[in-house]
Amino acid sequence: MSILQRSLTLLCGVSAGVLLCAGAIVAPVVFMTLSPDHVTAGRLAAKVFEISYWLTGLSMFLIAIMRLPKTKSLWILVAVLMGLTAVQLGWMSPALLNQGQGWPFSFAALHGTASAIHGVMILLALAVSWKLSR
């Protein structure tokens, strides 16, 4: 495996870790610390999530343009992860920041959907990282 391949595999693993840390550590701590002010806590958490999504999108883009995926299944994982990143950045995050405007269901449903997509993204980033390291 070349240094470039190792670096991109590491970047993918780091993006999985950042996604996990944002959802499991940063967001809960932000909301506990700023508990009376949910709007500010939400905006701060949204910024952390946005950074994690950009990092994930960048790592998947670099993996794709460097043609690292050698199997069809890995290409599919990379493409799905890029698509979910676009959904989070383009639709879910703005809707969350606007307290659900543009979302046809309740804010709780929006939050649950965004959280579920985030969890799937963590699993996909781990899977891509694992497959690349083989």
Q: Alpha-carbon Rg of the chain, whole angstroms?
A: 16
Instruction: Answer whether 81's CB lies under 8 Å from 128's CB.
Output: yes
Distance, in Å, from the CA atom of 40 to the CA atom of 31, rounded to the nearest integer, reads: 9
Q: What is the pTM (predicted TM-score) of this model?
A: 0.92
The predicted-structure confidence for 81-102, as pLDDT tens digits, reads as follows 999 999 999 999 998 888 888 7
* All structural domains of the chain with their residue ranges: 3-133
Q: Is 124 exposed, middle or buried (0-12, 13-18, 19+ CB in 10 A)?
A: buried
List pLDDT tens digits, range 7-42. Answer: 989 999 999 999 999 999 999 999 999 988 988 999
Residue 88 tokens read as: 């989070």
Alpha-carbon distances of 10 from 14, 32, 93, 94, 97, rounded to whole Å: 6, 31, 26, 29, 31
Position 65 pLDDT exceeds 80: yes
